[in-house]
Amino acid sequence: MHTRRSLTLLVATAFAFVAPLCRAAQPLTAAQALSFVRIADLRFSPDGAQLAYVIASYQWDGLPRLRITTLDSGETRELTPPQKGESSPQWSPLAATLAFLSNRGGSRQIYALSGSGAEPIALTASKFGVEKFHWSPDGRRIAYLARQDTGPDPNEGAQVADLEANLPRLWVMDVNSRQTRSLGSAGLRIADFQWQDTMHLLVAASDRPRVEEFTDNLYRVSTSDGVFKLMASPPRPFDSLLASPDGKQFAVRSTTAGGPIPRDLLVAASGESALHDISAPTGLAVADIRWRDPGVIWFLARDGFYNRILRMTAGKAASRIELPLSVAAFDVSGSGVLAFVGEDFTHLPEIFLRRPDGEIHQLSHLQQGWDEVILRPARIFRTPGPDGFVTEAALLKPAVAKPPLVMLVHGGPATNYIAGYGWETAWAQLLAAHGYAVLMANPRGSNGYSEEFLKANRGDWGGGDYRDLMSVLGAVLERGEADPERLGIGGWSYGGEMAAWAITQTSRFKAAVFGGGVFNQQSEFETEDEPAADEWYFGTPWEHPEVFARNSPATYIRAARTPTLILAGENDTVNPVGQARGLYRALKHFGVETELVTYPGEGHSPRRRTNNIDMFERILDWYDRHLQRRN
């Protein structure tokens, strides 16, 4: 499924509250580039005195760690034991008890922490682990999603596809007594749920679990009888189900124009089926939502290369919260204090607090060892395309004239590059530190722009999006900002697919990197997990084989001549490893220089530090081998 892939303005000013990451020049190594810390899932305690959040880094093989910071003192406690992973922090609504998911005891269970000196205790003992959970509004019960203990073991014995016993069930547990019971009947594929009030839950689920399409509806279920009653059918796909604090309204993130991903914020009164798009006037794609007061909704919106926070009060237009950095995650306290993860091209992510009077100060100092590393700023520019679309792009330039250039393409396709520092931009910064200009574009099909722009690549991967990329590249070369004889291309997932596509369409690129991408659309559709998103783009290969062939690099591979490095995780279920093997076999057959490297135990987004460092070193060596001048 392509829309999950994600493995992203020139802001050269160092803000007063953020130390610039430029002291003295030091070559950026692959290990250093991957030593950054990501921050997510910020959660204020009910009294606003503490902030829980999740951090992750390749230094810990991507395992998420849970921390709590007391805001007045700045004292921070890390909860997660070494070599374990913890996530999804949620405070009890009426007490200073933090619940979270942890694998510290084996399978992932709900744990609870009460008091600053206490140790977490397990609340559940589900045989196959817990997928997600939510506190009831009164803090007395927890609803959670887990498979039945009597179901078959997913790691042993024969595995039967679409077995009803494998579907997670919805359970409600009394926190004090630990008594637990399931709600509803078997046969539902539950995607999401939220408490509406102390006696009712809202549930996003499908009663056709064998159908691999977007078939979810919205149900209301009473905890007294467990009966699921159909309440609404939001436009599909939809997610981010949320109830207002007073239970009188609910919201989902959906699509009002039949797009491939949820991006519009739809709200309705409880008991009504008609939803209203309240984000439409902003024209922006909604990424995350907070609802702390019945009359006020805060949301994170994608606006090109920047993520912004907007506040919407009932009956009024949304107002933008002015922040100096792009926002990766956020939360809002009951008193209106905004906690956000801020970043851009020259500032690694850190947590900041913005008080209601607008004062901002830095709370965290998670990024260590970067003081002598130069991160290259980006020049943001727009390029009109041949058919009316305008493409926004960012160019990172090294301190050399006429450098070789590598064009990187993001995953997705319905994602976008942002002004920040993640895995894809670490790739870019590593290349820039070693003398490459790096071009990162958001072609048609990218999120963060209009709905029309997002949908413009339907059934047309390698058509208009490829023309957008080449137009942006042409604009850079016309300005003399790179050497036109030393051009490379690369990317992961959809970006890897576009690299494979490009080498079948032009000989301008002298080196390519294909990571976790698609070579043959039909075989990928037939073997991937969750093909519903691809069906939106292409239909099915048995009904529209010509569309799948037209959008496959495999169809045109005999024209390829570009040396290509191919990388993939052996356990990738999004774009199975057979796609990488197919490209490798084809390039070998036609006599094209190629190298295939696969990583056992890794999925679509490799997590282990050693594997990621190995990938980055191989990528840099591949471009150096083919794009750097030899004396």
* Mean pLDDT, rounded, for 198-205: 98
Number of residues assigned to the chain: 631
Alpha carbon separation from 297 to 21, 149, 386 (Å, rounded): 34, 39, 39
Compute the mean pLDDT over every residue in the chain, rounded to the nearest whole number.
94
For residue 310, pLDDT beyond 70: yes
Helices (H), 296-418: none
Q: What is the pLDDT of residue 630?
A: 60
For residue 116, pLDDT beyond 90: no
* Mean pLDDT, rounded, for 31-50: 97
Q: How far apart are CA 602 and CA 604, in angstroms?
A: 7
* Structural domains of the chain ordered from first start: 38-152+165-362 (2.120.10.30), 378-627 (3.40.50.1820)
* Mean pLDDT, rounded, for 452-461: 96
For residue 25, pLDDT beyond 60: no
Q: What is the pLDDT of residue 94?
A: 87
Model pLDDT for residues 400-413, shown as the tens digit of each residue: 889 999 999 999 99
For residue 8, pLDDT beyond 70: no
HSE-CB for 477 with a 13 A CA cutoff = 16
* Terminal-to-terminal C-alpha distance of the chain: 45
Q: What is the pLDDT of residue 20?
A: 42
Q: What is the pLDDT of residue 27?
A: 80
Residue 591 CA to its chain's centroid (Å): 37
* Mean pLDDT, rounded, for 3-12: 32
For residue 15, pLDDT beyond 50: no
* Mean pLDDT, rounded, for 289-313: 97
DSSP states along 162-209: T-GGGS-EEEEEETTT--EEEES-SS-EEEEEEEEETTEEEEEEES-T
Please name every residue paired with 66 in a beta bridge, in sequence order, or none if there are none.
54
Model pLDDT for residues 65-100, shown as the tens digit of each residue: 999 999 999 999 999 999 999 999 999 998 889 999
DSSP states along 492-558: ETHHHHHHHHHHHH-S-EEEEEEES--S-HHHHHHHSS-THHHHHHH--TTT-HHHHHHT-GGGGGG
CB 398 within 8 A of CB 486: no
* Mean pLDDT, rounded, for 16-37: 70
Model pLDDT for residues 547-573, shown as the tens digit of each residue: 999 999 999 999 999 999 999 999 999
